[in-house]
Structure 1
Amino acid sequence: MSLNKRRLIFCTFIYSCAAIGLLGAALGTKRWVVASARRTSNTTESVGQVNLGLFYGDKYLNIGYGLRTYSVDVIEMMKNDPEIMIYSLWVLTVIFIMAGLTMTIAAAVFAVINSAITPISALAGVPGLYFWNISAILFELFAAGLWVTQFYQRLQFNVMSKDDRRNKWTSEGNASLGYSFWFIILASILHMINVFTVFWATCSRTKKSPSPIIEEKTNGAIMLY
């Protein structure tokens, strides 16, 4: 493999590292869903904002006497109120993100190896680069699809706890997908770029000059005459 091709393969390492950062940020940030809230009994003075991540979130509520901030434990909230999310979808979302992160780390490691040497093993070589990146794409898109399902099945209607709902708080119709969700989409796009880059690096061939078969046939025909 030429030096230029190895440089292209190394570029996939950089993109994989960026994808690792995006996936880690998606797991740790609190913006998978964002929603504004209001009290049905006091819509003019009450105002609220709820931000939920996969594990933690923040809640800002003001009933007219000043803004109060609360921390949200998403897992605890699901235990206390099973109706707020579909638990199986939440679990599968986390599992697929972790699987995508594992594939991304593998893609980064083997990109470095392939930029330095030519491995003998298929999974460690170029076929492996396709496998790790395409697997990461699939896992990340599955996770995104599961969260979209979660959103349209439950979260678009309510992100408020039981106690908040008893106090007439509602978020129905005011929720949207936050930037933490879009980190997953961006990571999958980076892996798509990796797949294209590997293809470009390994399938481009130096054109060989055609063998002079026609010229030899012509010379042979002249000798016959």
Structure 2
Amino acid sequence: MTMFKRAMIFVTFFGSCFAIALLVASLGTKQWVNAVAKRTINPEESQGRINFGLFDGKKDLNVAYGWRTYPIDVVHLLKYEPEFLNYWLWLGTITCVCAGLLLSALSGVFAAINAGTSSSNCLLTSKRLYLWNFLAMLSNLGAIGFWLLQYYFKLQSNVLSREELENMWTSENMADLGYSFWFVVGAAAANFINIIILLIANSDGNKETVIPMLEEKTNGAIMLY
């Protein structure tokens, strides 16, 4: 394996680490959706700010008497207010993010191994890095797709609980995708860039020739005779 190829493969290690950091941040932050809200009976005097992630978040509401902050437990709402989010789209998002995290970790580990050794193991060969990065990108794209469906079918029209809705609050057409969601987009881009780097590293002009090794073995055999 040439030094150029080793260096390019090692670059994908950093790309995988970047994807891992983005995915961990997406799971840990509470900005998958941001929204504002108001009461239909006094829209000029009421204000609301809502943001939450895959597991929890918060809402700040002001009914003209000052701001009040309330926690949002997404899991609780899924259980007791199933109309709040589509459970399967929510579960699909989490599953895909976790799968992308695992596959990005695998691609990073195998990139480091391939950059330091020349293994013939089918699981460790540099061409197998295409598979890990492609699967990681596919998982991240799955998470993006699930959450976009969640947004268009549920979040765009409402991010409030039954209690707020009964108190005449509304967030219809006032919700946006938060930066936690865009972290996953960035992770998918990092996996895609890794694939491009691997294509460059394994291009015909950078492939290591095996002829010198065959000649060396032949010469060794002649010497024995």
Structure 1 residue 78: Cα displacement:
1.4
Alignment check: 8 A CA contact 1:16 1:105 kept: yes
What is the Cα deviation at residue 127 of structure 1?
Answer: 2.2
Please name the residue that 1:70 is paired with: 70
* SS at 2:95 equivalent: helix
Measured in 2, the distance between the counterparts of 1:186 and 1:118 equals: 31
Cα displacement string for residues 135-172 of structure 1 (whole angstroms, at most 9, x for unaligned residues): 00111101100110011011100000111111111100
Q: Can you list the C-alpha shifts for 1:47-95, whole angstroms capped at 9, x where unaligned?
A: 0010010001111101111111111111111112100111011111111
CA distance in 1, matches of 2:204, 2:176: 44
Matched, 1:13 2:9: no
C-alpha distance after superposition, 1:19-69 (max 9, x if no partner) = 000000111111111110001111011000100100011111011111111
Provide the C-alpha distance between the structure 2 equivalents of 1:116 and 1:103, rounded to a whole number of angstroms. 20
Match of 2:113 in 1: 113
Which one has the largest radius of gyration? 1
Q: Residues of 2 paired with 1:17 and 1:206: CA distance?
A: 25
How far does residue 201 in structure 1 lie from its aligned partner after superposition?
A: 1.0
Q: Is 195-204 or 55-64 further displaced after alignment? A: 195-204
Aligned with 1:205: secondary structure? helix
Q: What is aligned with 1:39?
A: 39
Classify 1:111/1:40 alpha carbon distance in 2 versus 1 (closer, same or farther; 3 Å): same
How far did 1:204 drift? 4.3
What residue in structure 1 maps to residue 93 of structure 2?
93
Match of 2:205 in 1: 205
Deviations 1:158-195 (A, max 9, x none): 00011111111110010111111111111011011100
TM-score, with length taken from structure 2 = 0.89
1:89–1:146 Cα contact (<8 Å) kept: yes
The whole-number CA distance in structure 1 between the counterparts of 2:186 and 2:111 is: 19
* Structure 1 segments (4+ residues) deviating >3 Å: none
The 5-angstrom pairing of residues 155-194 of structure 1 reads 155-194=155-194
SS of match in other structure, 2:110 = helix
Length, aligned pairs only: 207
TM-score (norm 1): 0.89
**Secondary structure at the counterpart of residue 118 of structure 2:** coil
Q: Distance in 2 between matches of 1:206 and 1:146?
A: 39
8 Å Cα contact 2:2-2:206 kept in structure 1: no
Output the CA distance in 1 between the equivalents of 2:46 and 2:179: 26
8 Å Cα contact 1:56/1:72 also seen in 2: yes
RMSD: 1.2
CA, structure 1 residues 189+84, in 2 after alignment: closer, same or farther (shift >3 Å)? same
Percent identical: 45
Structure 1 Cα separation of the partners of residues 70 and 78 of structure 2? 16
Partner residue, 1:215 = none
- How far apart, CA to CA, are the structure 2 residues paired with 1:193 and 1:122? 23
Which residue of structure 1 aligns with residue 210 of structure 2? none
Q: Distance in 1 between matches of 2:206 and 2:100?
A: 35
AA partner of residue 199 (structure 1)? L
1:65 aligned partner, one-letter code = Y
1:206, distance to aligned residue in structure 2 (A): 5.6
Which residue of the partner structure matches residue 212 of structure 2?
none
